[in-house]
Amino acid sequence: MAQAYVADIQGLHGSPPGSVEQVLKALDQFASVKSYSRGQQIFGYCEEQKYLYRVRSGVVRKFALQPGGRRHILDLLLPGDFFGFGSGQEYLAEAAVDRTLVSQYYRTRVEALARSDGEVAEALQMITVEAIARLERQMLMLGKTTALEKVSCFLLEFASRINGQASDVLALPISRYDIGDYLAISSETVCRSMTELKHRGIISLQGPREVRIVDREGLEA
């Protein structure tokens, strides 16, 4: 099912240009791949981050639980994305869809390799900067005033992240609840924004998770 929604790493994420991906292969020698079912925890609060992770397929959500039981999703990781930088964790990560595959790398060994090999260090630096760019784009979404703008930005962002190049059909891998917790609005408001966009003829919905962008320019406004 996950495969139906989100393609594998191959050919995705044009950002790391071949050579970087080549260098990252050096890490695979001490990587192990694990499969997670939806909602299964990958790492939690108190651990002192032993691993660095990379999504191979599926979706991972990184989130913090707030007093009051609310959940705030700090990052959504798609195939190719790394996560688990940061030292003391004040959040947790779990699979957002079934059959999510995640590689884990021993941090100590990654760091040792980076210290000795300048190219590895550079690649590591590059994927860290990518994580920053991702966070900044999310921040811009959160900064939008109306829910309609947030959802519009979200759709555009995910259309370009899920499909390698910005396609106009989009298979949402996550629920309305997840989208709501990601954009800091309620799931009901996500629904209403979706139907509003549909009624305006900006998108069309095959199923709840099958979005087709009809009027891209309208979505960008």
Partner DNA sequence: CGCATACTTGATAGGTTTCAAACTGAGTGG
Partner DNA sequence: CCACTCAGTTTGAAACCTATCAAGTATGCG
Q: Is 65 in the site for a copy of itself (CB under 8 A)?
A: no
Using CB under 7 A, which residues numbered 107 to 166 contact DNA?
145-148
Residue corresponding to tokens 């309305």: 176
Task: Residue 166: name its binding partner from a copy of itself, DNA, none (Cβ under 5 to 8 Å by kind).
Answer: none
- Least distance (Å) from a copy of itself to the CB of residue 103? 19
Using CB under 8 A, which residues numbered 81 to 140 contact a copy of itself?
85-87, 91, 111, 114-116, 118-119, 121-122, 124-125, 128-129, 131-133, 135-136, 138-140
In sequence order, the β-bridge partners of residue 101 are 35, 57
Q: Is 74 in the site for a copy of itself (CB under 8 A)?
A: yes
Q: Is 209 in the site for DNA (CB under 7 A)?
A: yes
Encoded tokens for 68: 């009051």
Binding mask 177-196 for DNA (x = CB under 7 A): x------xxxxxx-xx-xx-
Question: What is the distance of C-alpha 128 from the center of its chain?
Answer: 14
The answer to whether 57 and 34 are in contact (CB under 8 A) is no
Residue corresponding to tokens 């195939």: 79
d(CA 74, CA 54): 16
Neighbours of 159 (CB within 10 A): 20
Phi, then psi, of 64 in degrees rounded to 5: -120, 140
Residues that bind a copy of itself in the complex, under the rule CB under 8 A: 64, 66-67, 70, 72, 74, 85-87, 91, 111, 114-116, 118-119, 121-122, 124-125, 128-129, 131-133, 135-136, 138-140, 142-145, 184, 221
